[in-house]
């Protein structure tokens, strides 16, 4: 993920690191809320499996709140498993390319698979779901994320078929025909869950509730009590105006925000330079669940390699990055 961030951020190592850690923190916050809803406090979570956890983008935060011995991580790359064992002290499980080849050593009250099913080819989707559900304790919870069909290049086709697979992904270490990018409907997910392990399941969907992009699904045995889990709905957006006025030495940055209807309204947008807030505005509504914002600042406050971030904040205090870069890697236009 860091290497992918480095590509999309035009080679800025500091910006790539900021994005890597920011998304890891957002995923951790979601897991933290799930554990707290089930056990009263996240710190009371007895055990947790982070499936497809990579090199610990999320684990580094989990291990600060839970004893590392309560955390298990599963990953297909041996170097990633070894890294997490050595640096975070967690239990590492080696995964596999085929769902039937992965076996849990024990059962878990909570299993999380963030940004895994958004890559799994549809033909393997139900197999992986059944396998992970088999690793749950009798009253356990599985939380996983997917990409909705509206995010694909062919939303209508994806809706009609139920799924759409594209052999593209952030990694070059896995076969893209197996691990690409997958868009699925809610009906597709429910059908994949149905009948797994010969049991009935309760499925709840939360649209764009993981990092403001992926849909979250919470699955539990139908006889189990579902905790009052409330995910974090973040606004998302982008910069669509980025201009420099040489005479006035002024930099104009503007853009948009959007949220799901059930999400909290954004109440503040900040421009931060190397984590110093240099400007802040309240976004103005520009349609249902859509907003505009803009800044005009003295360009001298931003050095060529300073990390500039546009951060949208909700009234509940949660934040999301909607703009990130440096003056060197993202040259503004002029007027």
**Separation of alpha carbons 33 and 228, rounded Å:** 10
| Average pLDDT score over residue span 97-122 | 92
> How do beta strands 333-334 and 236-245 pair?
parallel
Least Cα distance to 141 among 216, 69, 207 occurs for: 216
**What is the pLDDT, as a whole number, of residue 49?**
98
**What is the pLDDT, as a whole number, of residue 199?**
84
Return residue ranges of the chain for CATH 2.60.40.1930. 236-334
Residues 6+ apart with CB under 8 A from 103: none
Residue 307 scores a pLDDT above 80 = yes
Q: Packing angle between helix 122-134 and helix 186-193, nearest 10 degrees?
A: 50
Least Cα distance to 203 among 187, 184, 190 occurs for: 190
Residue 327 scores a pLDDT above 70 = yes
> How do beta strands 71-75 and 91-94 pair?
parallel
pLDDT (tens digit per residue) in 113-139? 999 999 999 999 999 999 999 999 999
**Separation of alpha carbons 98 and 130, rounded Å:** 12
pLDDT band for 333, please (50, 70, 90 cuts).
Answer: confident
Residues 6+ apart with CB under 8 A from 333: 242, 243, 244
> How do beta strands 71-75 and 276-281 pair?
unpaired
130: its two tokens: 């059944």
Least Cα distance to 180 among 194, 192, 169 occurs for: 169
59: its two tokens: 């684990």
Q: DSSP assignment, residue 226?
A: P
**Separation of alpha carbons 305 and 213, rounded Å:** 28
**Separation of alpha carbons 59 and 46, rounded Å:** 16
Q: Give the fold, CATH level 3, of 2-221.
A: Rossmann fold (3.40.50)
Residues 6+ apart with CB under 8 A from 190: 203
**Separation of alpha carbons 104 and 326, rounded Å:** 44
pLDDT (tens digit per residue) in 13-33? 999 999 999 999 999 999 999
Contacts 24+ apart (CB under 8 A), 262-268: 262/233, 263/233, 263/234, 263/235, 263/289, 263/314, 264/233, 264/314, 264/315, 264/316, 264/318, 265/314, 265/315, 266/235, 266/291, 266/312, 266/313, 266/314, 267/313, 267/314, 267/315, 268/312, 268/313
Residue 72 CA: distances (Å) to CA of 57, 84, 108, 115, 283:
14, 10, 9, 17, 41
Residue 171 scores a pLDDT above 80 = no
Residue 175 scores a pLDDT above 70 = no
Domain 236-334, CATH homologous superfamily name and number: Macroglobulin (MG2) domain (2.60.40.1930)
**What is the pLDDT, as a whole number, of residue 155?**
95
Half-sphere exposure of 237 (CA within 13 A, CB side): 31
pLDDT band for 198, please (50, 70, 90 cuts).
Answer: confident
**What is the pLDDT, as a whole number, of residue 169?**
74
pLDDT (tens digit per residue) in 36-83? 999 999 999 999 999 999 999 999 999 999 999 999 999 999 999 999
DSSP string, 33-76: HHHHHHHSSGGG---EEEET-TTTTTHHHHHHHS-GGGEEEEES
Give the sign of the dihedral formed by CA 129, CA 32, CA 24, CA 262.
positive
- pTM assigned to the model: 0.94
pLDDT (tens digit per residue) in 257-297? 999 999 999 999 999 999 899 999 999 999 999 999 999 99
Per the CB < 8 A criterion, the answer to whether 159 and 188 are in contact is no
Per the CB < 8 A criterion, the answer to whether 239 and 230 are in contact is no
Q: Which helix (H) or strand (E) holds 3?
A: helix 2-8
Return residue ranges of the chain for CATH 3.40.50.150. 2-221
Output phi, psi for 149, to 5 deg.
-60, -25
**What is the pLDDT, as a whole number, of residue 174?**
64
- For the chain, give the mean pLDDT: 93
């Amino acid at each position: 993920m860091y290497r992918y961030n480095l590509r999309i951020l035009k080679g800025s190592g500091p910006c790539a690191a900021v994005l890597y850690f920011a998304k890891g923190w957002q995923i951790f916050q979601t897991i933290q809320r799930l554990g707290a809803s089930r056990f009263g406090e996240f710190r009371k979570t007895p055990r947790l499996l982070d499936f497809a956890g990579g090199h610990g983008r999320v684990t580094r935060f989990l291990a600060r709140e839970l004893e590392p011995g309560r955390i298990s991580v599963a990953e297909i790359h041996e170097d990633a498993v070894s890294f997490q064992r050595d640096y975070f002290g967690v239990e590492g499980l080696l995964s596999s390319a085929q769902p039937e080849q992965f076996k849990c050593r024990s059962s878990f009250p909570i299993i999380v698979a963030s940004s895994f099913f958004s890559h799994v080819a549809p033909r393997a989707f139900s197999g992986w779901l059944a396998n992970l559900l088999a690793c749950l304790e009798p009253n356990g919870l599985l939380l996983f994320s997917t990409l909705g069909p509206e995010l694909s290049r062919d939303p209508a086709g994806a809706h009609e078929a139920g799924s759409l697979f594209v052999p593209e992904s952030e990694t070059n270490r896995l076969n893209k025909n197996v691990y690409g990018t997958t868009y699925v409907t809610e009906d597709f997910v429910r059908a994949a869950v149905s009948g797994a392990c010969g049991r009935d399941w309760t499925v709840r969907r939360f649209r764009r509730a993981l990092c403001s992009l992926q849909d979250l699904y919470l699955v539990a045995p139908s006889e189990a009590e579902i905790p009052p889990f409330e995910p974090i709905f973040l606004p998302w957006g982008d910069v669509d105006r980025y201009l420099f006025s040489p005479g006035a030495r002024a930099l104009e940055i503007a853009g948009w925000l959007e949220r799901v209807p059930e999400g909290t309204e954004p109440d503040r947008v900040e421009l931060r330079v190397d984590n110093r807030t240099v400007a802040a505005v309240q976004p103005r509504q520009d349609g249902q669940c859509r907003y505009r914002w803009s800044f005009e600042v003295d360009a001298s406050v931003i050095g060529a390699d300073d990390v500039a971030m546009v951060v949208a904040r909700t009234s509940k205090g949660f934040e999301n990055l909607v703009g990130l870069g440096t003056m060197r890697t993202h040259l503004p236009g002029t007027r």
